[in-house]
Structure 1
């Protein structure tokens, strides 16, 4: 019997998405969504959870091109956990949402020069262009530090296609 692992979130990006490429050319974007809780704390203030998200291939490029800090986005995907050795030699555990689709939910105003129809076309492209599921080539390295900010100085990251989630 298999389990169910399904996530649906709506929130705002806490910073601009970070786009990187594997050595074999597969795009991967990471971002964090601030998702408001449905209740207030004792001080009658809304709290938020900050959820790490990752998206692959063509949708990753679309996310990097069209979303920025503060953008409202809806994601569907699954929870994934992994661990690796950090730069300080300690074991790092990571939980993130691997996005199957990302919806751009901000409404564009007329002075932005883009209509709601343009947003709908862009959303459709993001969700329908999942890209080649097998990916080009295989790299046998197993370094999983692809997401660490500034750890590679903008250079291609070293991750095996075997480590990709699909």
Structure 2
């Protein structure tokens, strides 16, 4: 009798075992707080863009155009990784993007700081001439960003952002 119960149990439980083995449960992707902050900034700063413009930016195509310049400034400012008076906050960028675990710090800090210094243009007269939100600041932010993109740090950034956008980070 015990043998018969075991056969009956196997007969009915086998299809259930197959279902569990064939169809793993769907697990929603868990995003880091840093990835969520990147997505929020991206969405907030692309509100006025056309779908085609947004697609280009999501594809890491940063042509020199007014909408791209404003998007870049908005994005980095919202993340609090750009300051209009001093440029990219290199140390904060490295820490925000995972620090030494994810970036070559010896490569990243000089690249970011060098691009800040190389692309900064001071207006004539007293002070820096780079008022908050002014076109000069927006242009500087874009030029510094384009400079960083031309370094290995820029390649890492493009890969990382693609992963974030596609739900892999």
State the TM-score, normalized to the length of structure 2: 0.26
Higher normalized helix content (fraction of residues): 2
Larger Rg: 2
TM-score by length of 1: 0.26
